Amino acid sequence: MIFRVPYQPLNLRLTITPELLERITSAVDPKDRQNLRTPLIGFTMALACTPLGTGSVSYIRTTCVGEEQGKGSIQIMNGSASKCYETKRIYGLQGRSKNNMSEKEPENPFFRDSKLCLYARGDGASAGCTMITSILSRAMKKPVRMNLAMTGGITIIGTILPIGGVREKTIAAKRSQVKMIIFPEANHGEFEELEENVKEGLDARFVSDYNQIFEIAFGYDH
């Protein structure tokens, strides 16, 4: 026998206060904001767009899980580490990172001997420059500049590719109390068209080659 219960709609009301709105839309959990002012080796802040069409800030992290002479490798995990990135992207990121390291520190054996694991949320192409910066931070044992977030795709020769969601990513950076952002030069005009109150308080840098990102991220004196 099946008993049917008459459907009765619930009359619920939700009041959106400024405090609740801030908690809902904040790009970074308040307890994590202290990390913006704490130098951490291997951590880089990435600007991204969510499936809902809003901007977000997340951390990309590289850790060294082991060392064996001549057995260097890299594994790139997505989100909860339940999905590996495709082999093509791994080789591309590893190759670009090695190229930068050979230019800056040619005697550093890090990539030859280290087994790395990089954790990233999402698999958008615009996270390429952020991933490489995280890897290089770990390789050089040097934190990335504080209060810096970035976005941009990258080719194997270091060219920075344009991204989407300039407005959304800019707003996310402001909500997360980021001070400096890096965008591709190709998106410079789109950024300049944003309202002044959206851009206010942000030091925006525009780059076309990864060497420019390297100098911004690591050429600092905290």
Express each pLDDT in 18-74 by its tens digit: 555 444 444 444 445 455 556 789 999 999 888 787 888 988 898 888 877 777 777
pLDDT tops 80 at residue 105 = no
Give per-residue pLDDT as tens, 140-167: 899 999 999 999 988 888 899 999 999 9
Instruction: Examine the pLDDT at 82 and tell me if it is beyond 50.
Output: no
Do 59 and 144 contact (CB within 8 A), yes or no? no
- 104 catalytic per annotation: no
Q: Are 96 and 158 in contact (CB under 8 A)?
A: yes
Comparing C-alpha atoms, which of 173, 176, 179 is closest to residue 201?
A: 179
Residue 103's pLDDT is 61
Marked catalytic residue, from 56, 137, 169, 176? 169
Mean pLDDT along residues 160-188:
94
Question: In angstroms, rounded to a whole number, what is the distance separating the alpha carbons of residues 221 and 79?
Answer: 32
Say if pTM beats, i.e. exceeds, 0.85: no
| Catalytic option among 56, 114, 126, 176 | 126
**Secondary-structure class of domain 30-218 per CATH:** alpha beta
CA 179 to chain centre: 15
> Is position 126 annotated as part of the catalytic site?
yes
CA dist., res. 54 & res. 72, Å (int)? 37
Domain ranges of the chain: 30-218
More confident residue, 86 or 222: 222
| pLDDT reported for residue 127 | 84
Number of H helices, E strands in the chain: 8, 10
